[in-house]
Structure 1
Amino acid sequence: MVQTICVSPMFLRSSAAQEACDCLTNVLGKSPLLLTELDLSEDKLGDLDVEKLSALLMDSHSKVEKIKLSNCEKLTEKSCSVLATVLSSKTILKEMNLNNSRLLDSGVREICKGLGNRMCELKILNLSDCSISEEGYKALASALRSNPSHLIELDLRGNDPGQSGVKELTDLLQDPHCTLKTLRFLSPAAEEVFQFVTGIVGKNPLLLKELNLSNHELGDTQVNQLSVLLKDKHCTINTLQLNNSKITAEGCASLTSAFNSNPSHLIELNLSENKLEDSGVVKICPLLKNTQCRLEKLSLSDCSISEEGYKALASALRSNPSHLIELDLRGNDPGQSGVKELTDLPQDPHCTLKTLRFLSPDDDKVCQFVTGIVGENPLLLKELNLSNRELGDTQVNQLSTLLQDKHCRVNTFMLNNNRITAEGCAALTSAFNLNPSHLIELNLSGNNLGDSGVEKICPLLKNTQCRLEKLSLSDCRITEEGYKALASALRSNPSHLIELDLRGNDPGQSGVKELTDLLKSRSCKFRFLKCSAQEACDYLTKAVGKSPLLLTELDLSEDKLGDLDGDKLSALLMDSHSKVEKIK
């Protein structure tokens, strides 16, 4: 009987290589000497020493051109050093995949020793999601400069390049001796956005610190796509300009999600002139609350934000007061308490907010001027008294730009004795027609308004949104035509004014009647007379059954004077509103 003996063929130079071959044959079910691609991902290495694997790869019998060691928890700095030895040897290895293995910068530095060796002929190196930072990128760039002739593809997706990592490597592409063609930093979705943005700005957005996409009407859909790029660590933008881009709350949510994933670079964000509304502001607030957020300047002007949005911003900044130094909210409507909610913040010793911008530069100058007069911020006042300041039309015109801003909530405005004429009246009317819902009392007494000034005021009285209840125009040189204009305006919008002071003016023949006829259809108090004259008027109205201001003949015979003081009667008769020609 002949006995057959099975002898394992010995091809390999060292026992270490043979041991690796035997181990991998068991794991893979096939001899690695028959493979050109060796997949040892997910820790298929098991207990096999990397040094023994390297002995196998460096043996001339190995035909492995591509090796995968992705998701290998056991890869250490020492392992990377051994792999570098393989790269430095004369092998046919062309591709190495180490994705999702925590190499860190220390491991990459070891790999780079092999890449920088002139013997290395590796063409593709995959290092995505390997916890590599700026120092690792610098090491790779240095290695490829020293040996630029072989590597054509480098994948670094999912790592953090820091401030200069991307530039260190993209600069290599300009080297005529460098064969690197594909430098992959981004996912396919982010790469698509990258190409789109590059088409707009004409530059690589990964190399930009400021990205201006304003006035491109991106809309929420494209902003959602842009957010995929912004959340990638390779995007290190400090300033993002997106004003007038048709963004709503949906786009705000995407941006917040992106910057919460990648919060450490953004310093300035401009979302002005988008219809964010309060819901959009609420979506932004989680970014402001993020303690890793480094945002210093946020622009939200003309974003249709109201009181609730202001409150949400104030709440977010109270919870994380340490970074934002400038907030722009011009062109929004803060409601009753919005301005106060935010102006209280700078009183917090932990709050870094220095600039809270509600007003345009010109309006801000006026605000400072008024503050200098009254000693308080006029945006926080319900009553503003600038009487007897001789402002004149020029300063009133400037003041009007402040009054038309929604951040100005003045209810009572006193401007008596300020040398205001029709020009100033026109400016004030324009301002209050733009911001009509707060003014309740306006005092323009003692100004030379004349009939032309009254005519400029009348469009405000006709405005159905106007809430004015009390208007003082005493001693304003108003005549019959002015009274008629007032009567006409009040007929067209009778619902709000309850007191009109016209003392010290001259109503002519019909001025008083024009206005008192209105009393039949509305409840309004007209004040035509000084105190003593008014007492006489009230007394005589009861005595004769009709207002003496409507009479040309006054019959006080038969002791109808009663207890009325003669001086008071004289005051009435001497008032310009009295048209009495004959008295008995």
Structure 2
Amino acid sequence: METRGTFRGRHMSSNLSLDAQLVQSTFLQQSNLLQKFQCLYEGTAKQGNPTLLNEIYTELYITESESGEINDEHEVVQIETQSRRAATENTPIKCNDIFRSLPGQDKPIRTVLTKGVAGIGKTVSVQKFILDWAEGKENQDVQLIFPLPFRELNLMKDKTLSLSDLLHVFFHKTQQTEILSDEYKVLFIFDGLDESRLSLNFKSEVKLCNISESASVDELLMNLIVGNLLPSALIWITSRPAAAHLVPSECVHRVTEVRGFNEPQKQEYFRKSISDQSLANTIITHLKSSRSLHIMCHIPVFCWISATVLEKMLSEAERGEIPKTLTQMYTHFLIIQTNIKHEKDYEKRVKDEDMILKLGKLAFQQLVKGNLIFYEEDLRECGIDVTEASVYSGLCTQIFREELGLYQGKVFCFVHLSIQEHLAAVFVHRSLTNNCINIIKDLAWVSFNPLPGLHQKAVDEALQSKNGHLDLFLRFLLGLSLESNQTLLRELLTQTGSCSYNKEETVQYIKQKIRENGSPERSINLFHCLNELGEDSLMQEINDYLKSGKIGGTKLSSSQWSALVYVLLTSEQKMDVFNLKQFIGAQNTADEVLHKLLPVVKESRSVQLSYCGVTDEGCAALTSALRSNPSHLRELDLSLNKVGDFGLNQLSDLLQDPHCKLEIFRLSNCGVRDEGCAALASALRSNPSHLRELDLSENKVGDFGVNQLSDLLQDPLCKLEILGLWDCGVTDEGCAALTSSLRLNPSHLRKLDLTGNKVGDSGVKQLSDLLQDPHCKLEILGLSDCGVTDEGCAALISALRSNPSHLRKLDLSWNKVGDSRVKQLSDLLQDPHCKLEILRLSDCGVTDEGCAALTSSLRSNPSHLRELSLSWNKVGDFGVKQLSDLLQDPHCKLEILRLMDCGVTDEGCAALTSALRSNPSHLKELSLSWNELRDSDVKLLSDLKEDPHYKLETLEF
């Protein structure tokens, strides 16, 4: 490990005084940053006793992301979506490695943009990176680190100064002027781009190249990020997703995303945070029992909130119900934070109740405006004194730099967006119940009880929001109306008004909106609302249908379809595989069911739609839905559906999306013609690197379609491993184009199925040239019923002799192979380099003579073959006796033997029975259908199947 003051990877300076200055500056910088960043104040700027970061730090799940992805959904909705997606979707990156290339990436990384929702751990990742550097543990090739949060840069918004001056203001103990050059490696960290009040105009013509040139702060930052100033400096920018686009993609070399805690990290956090491990386990178990709470635990700040509440409630055995909903959890947290406020410098000039309502007013006003960061004048508008508010630091955090003397521009925010939304809901609810004031919008009440009217208006407003920004606020507002939560609030807020409330009116209104809402996806939050109200009858009905397996045969109402979507998306078992068949019955068409369940399809990595009756219309809806999340899907099976060229054209638009990562695409027997195949091949050419398996079997693709695919296959970026073209109308012409392309890019294809095509000897000769290429790694070759004669077979065997080690499966069934070519094939099989495991020669004109040659060779190399099919050949008893000698060889590992209609009598059957008795452990399947066997022979073999010492699972007569 390198110690502080040693620098790997920099250019050696001939100026010793500069080196000495660098060492001194680095030492001072590391010492200052170590002191500043070694402690973690969870959730707040300063609250309670500090915790050493290294004692509690839990590695976060960080992945590479697409620079172009912009998501303006509510951040909790984003978290709920991410929680449904497998953690294996992307390669994780440790925060200390964000400037290091992943395997296969050779471009240097200068600028990194890290995005993530509020409270997800972006700032803590920055803190950990800096702390490890300051302690001399990581990234010691960096000489200086300058953390410049946008919250603090905002306070210098109207200043004009040079980069050198700016750094002196923030880091006046570090004399960095002369060492800021391309000779040294420095890192600038700009945390919180979403909080920036600077005008970052990347189209500005102001170009700064000297650190002594003066300009506005936003121009200094822009020139640093673009690379005009200090082009060798590393830049790290963090941002919430909605603001990530403010930095042009061409200025960013890597985009990463902090996704919070995955499942093991959630548990690790609680075990580190709570010293009593038994209590920690109890808390983990409780959080798992509530899906809404468990989902939110992806956010580290919510883990802190939950740990704060549950540790106190469970360890002190407090009265009251342990929180099971978000409203309960946040209301308990509000009570705890009010009780532990710092009072040493606080004269009680304002009651807790008044301050909470003032903070609630501030929270609601800023939520409506879309502001998450606000200023002193915003507090004054709500009657809040800054000194009074500061004692509630567990709720509202004051952000400023005391050491800079910049008191004139204090910046405030709530600890987390969800806390702001909860306080806003408390304020709105309280304003109505105590003062009969509807804060959301004045209404002409049609009811003596105004609370249902408020709820109905809030539901309408939330549904009209395009990005769901009022969703969580609505959940809290409804949850606060329950008597149990009202009782909790009375510990803080005096209830002066009388407002009896029956939740049923609100419940029925929400259910009506679910029925009316055409989008089950948009109804998901309404089910969360029902959950906050303790109403789960719809969800329970669906769960009962799912458990009984009768969901497909039940005619569901629109509400039940929406409930089904909600249940599937919030199930503890991830919907990694979606199978449409289980939801289809006589009541609905496949397209209708598919359309209703598209929100679930979008979150599935494998979508199984085979033999369901999906049409081109369903394909169009499927494509439209998947466009919003193309990077998640890995497998799509549409086999045996009426997709047609139109449907495939729609899907092709999806496949050419650069974010699409589809690996397996099955379209067997889908009515696709050469036109659809051309569209597919064109789309794949524009995005060729992800698809691993393509099955177009039983479609009228023809030579034209195969020619289109051939252009794709020769692309060096194409990584296709499995290509299914069974019964596609391919002739030797198409086969020639195919193999010509594969010779240019032969190393990836592992399986090629040309069964049922008129390939003939000419096509097989073309394939043989490919097979003898040492770069060819083909393992499975299907040539059944391809019009191959002994001429083509000879060319094939010759090629395999020159490159025998890769082929694992060869199917030559229903071709005119004959004994002479089987003998040549036998020579191949006894080659010790031959690894053939499956050999199918059904109806190939093989007699007992060919069978004898075959088994003789296999006795020389018996350990590889697992399956042998000789059905519909004139093998006879003599051939079966030869095979029996092979079966009793202890080195023989044959598991499947097919001898249907082979002229076998009781004599051959007896030989087989005897052989299996002497080597009972490997054969699992034996087929002897359509042979002349006596009942006694059948019984002997059947007895073997019942014997537990035998592995025989399938026996056909």
Which bracket does the TM-score occupy, shorter chain normalised?
Answer: 0.3 to 0.5
TM-score by length of 1: 0.39
Q: Which has the higher contact order (CA 8 A, sep 6+)?
A: 2
Report which of the two structures shows the higher radius of gyration computed on alpha carbons.
1
TM-score by length of 2: 0.26
